[in-house]
Chain A
Amino acid sequence: MKEVIFTIEQNIALTENVYKMVMSGDTSAITGSGQFVNIKLDSQYLRRPISICDYDENTLTIIYKSVGVGTEKMTKMSAGEKLNILVGLGNGYELSLSGDAPVLVGGGVGVPPLYKLCKLLKAQGKKVTVILGFNTANEVFYEDEFKAIADKVIITTVDGSYGVKGFVTNALDIEYTYVYSCGPFPMLKALSAATHTSGQYSLEERMGCGFGACMGCSCKTMLGNKRICKDGPVFVKEEIIW
């Protein structure tokens, strides 16, 4: 973990309340996809934990939803402004278990961390299928970005206004060797039950510190009490108490 001052390069709306922020700064503490960062805002006491969508040596991209007073303020920030960020938090996705044809399943703002994961798996020559679930057509984001890197991209919407009607579990009529997922817990639970392979699932919880000190985001697992921020956020299917 490192405390780094990032400079905002771009902060744009992808949908009505989902935003993409690209920042420049030292990303050397990031060890893989599925990790998150914790952002200090001048007006807020606690930091905002946000998953990492993409990164390279000196660029960090996050996609966040405006859900409260903190993220709302983030939407108003412009290029050139600075942010104090703790980077390299949590354990991300483990690539070595993917098999030849992993499926990546994201729901809503659970979609972003799968982007870098998809890039890393493609770099290893895997056949990657991506299923992205949203409520409705105007909430869909990053379809083209995923299409540019994945072998196959399926979009599902609950109301059927775009792509496959229903939930991500309605799009599982595909061949796959392993599951990587991030999204709301009910979706993860349904996905875990509907899939025949092992997988890795990213959990979320309201956090205090984000680096394992306060026990604010603990959960019970098959392997005992775990801190989602420090021991997770990614857990293997068999470890999670569904």
Chain B
Amino acid sequence: MVNTSVTLCGIKLDNPLIPASGTFGYGKEFSELYDINCLGTFSFKGTTLESRFGNPTPRIAECTAGMINAVGLQNPGVKAVVEKELPQMKSFFHKPVMANICGFSIEEYTEVSRILDKEEQVGWLEINVSCPNVHGGGMSFGVTPEGAASVVRAVKAVTTKPVIIKLSPNVTDIVSIAKACENEGADAISMINTMLGMRIDLKTKKPVIANKMGGFSGPAIMPVALRMVYQVYNAVKIPIIGMGGVSSAEDVIEMMLAGATAVEIGSANLVDPFICRDIINDLPRVMEKYKINNLNDIIGGAH
């Protein structure tokens, strides 16, 4: 019998599988398809202080082995999440859930974090620093070590829950940003968010997406994600949640060998709604095939 359980910031996961924020809503749609308690946990839809409609449509474009989205953080706002989504979630998900938090200012990050810190169901705060920083002229907090560190510092001051900082790959040196976050007390790093990309429609000769550019995700970006996880693992001691195009049990193991303690699955959920369940079921078979008895033994094993 193989061991698939891992520990993320002191909380035990039955397996390292975590559906990524923005691809799993608040879990409801998937709970109607299968018992989502088989998951390690899931990261719910990125939540801001106020409700947001997001960007104009079209928001989706297809690519070779991937997709681009420019949803623009559509969410009902933290108040509705606390009053409606979390109570509803209690009926179908009985494990600690990961709260994904977005903000356009330090004050917004801290306020949303302070509110979700009080929620018993929430196990971790995953802080997305890819939103444009309104005070920094629209650049995202996540593109500089100082910007990312300032968010970690502010959030750590208002919560006792583990703080996971979700990093953008659209930077010159992700390693220095990860180190800056670790120095400010981040409990873990999740990476990578989507890569900035675009498509142009040959018929209209204009960008497919109304917002022109969007986040590129899917199997095409996995080698980039894997490389970045590998580099950051060398530089930090805190755990890493690896993500970027993961679509199979083999991909999960590859990501863990690069240095991930847990693995998020994003776009694949949108194409195959049963994929997380199927990977969890397939994981023991693939572990046996590659003579892995305990997943904890392979974290960073490629180094």
- By a beta-carbon cutoff of 8 Å, the part of chain A in contact with chain B is 1, 3, 40, 44-47, 70, 86, 205-209, 211-220, 225, 230
Known: A40-B271, A206-B59, A225-B74. A213 touches B32 (CB 8 A): no
Docked complex Cα distance between A207 and B25 (Å)? 15
In the complex the two chains form, is A209's CB within 8 Å of B270's CB?
yes
Determine the chain B residues whose CB is within 8 A of the CB of A47 once the complex forms.
Answer: 271
Known: A1-B33, A216-B69, A225-B74. A206 touches B60 (CB 8 A): yes
- CB<8 Å pairs between A and B, sample of 25: A1-B273, A3-B272, A3-B273, A40-B271, A45-B62, A45-B63, A45-B65, A45-B267, A45-B271, A46-B60, A46-B62, A46-B271, A70-B62, A86-B273, A208-B60, A211-B273, A213-B24, A215-B22, A215-B71, A215-B74, A216-B60, A216-B71, A219-B57, A220-B53, A225-B53
- CB nearest to A218 among chain B residues: B74
Docked complex Cα distance between A205 and B33 (Å)? 24
Given contacts A214-B60, A215-B25, A218-B74, could you give 9 more A-B pairs where the C-beta distance is less than 8 Å?
A: A1-B32, A46-B67, A46-B270, A208-B59, A213-B270, A214-B69, A215-B59, A215-B74, A220-B53
Determine the chain A residues whose CB is within 8 A of the CB of B267 once the complex forms.
Answer: 45
Binary flags per residue of B29-47, CB closer than 8 Å to A gives 1, else 0: 1101100000000000100
Known: A3-B274, A45-B63. A212 touches B25 (CB 8 A): yes
Docked complex Cα distance between A3 and B278 (Å)? 13
Docked complex Cα distance between A40 and B66 (Å)? 14
**Nearest 6 A/B pairs, CB to CB:** A209-B270, A216-B60, A206-B58, A215-B74, A212-B29, A208-B60
Determine the chain A residues whose CB is within 8 A of the CB of B162 once the complex forms.
Answer: none
- CB nearest to B52 among chain A residues: A225
- CB nearest to A44 among chain B residues: B62
In the complex the two chains form, is A214's CB within 8 Å of B57's CB?
no
In the complex the two chains form, is B29's CB within 8 Å of A208's CB?
no
- CB nearest to B70 among chain A residues: A216
Mark out the residues of chain B between 231 and 261 whose CB falls within 8 Å of any chain A CB in the assembled complex: none
In the complex the two chains form, is B64's CB within 8 Å of A214's CB?
no
Known: A45-B66, A225-B53. A217 touches B25 (CB 8 A): no
A188 CB, min distance to chain B CBs, angstroms: 16
Determine the chain B residues whose CB is within 8 A of the CB of A230 once the complex forms.
Answer: 29
B278 CB, min distance to chain A CBs, angstroms: 11
In the complex the two chains form, is B23's CB within 8 Å of A214's CB?
yes
Determine the chain A residues whose CB is within 8 A of the CB of B45 once the complex forms.
Answer: 215
Mark out the residues of chain B between 260 and 294 whose CB falls within 8 Å of any chain A CB in the assembled complex: 267, 269-274
Docked complex Cα distance between A53 and B61 (Å)? 26
Determine the chain B residues whose CB is within 8 A of the CB of A217 once the complex forms.
Answer: 57, 59-60
**B54 interface hit (Cβ, 8 Å):** yes
Q: Which of A46, A205, A219 has the most CB of B within 10 A?
A: A46
Determine the chain B residues whose CB is within 8 A of the CB of A70 once the complex forms.
Answer: 62
Docked complex Cα distance between A218 and B64 (Å)? 24
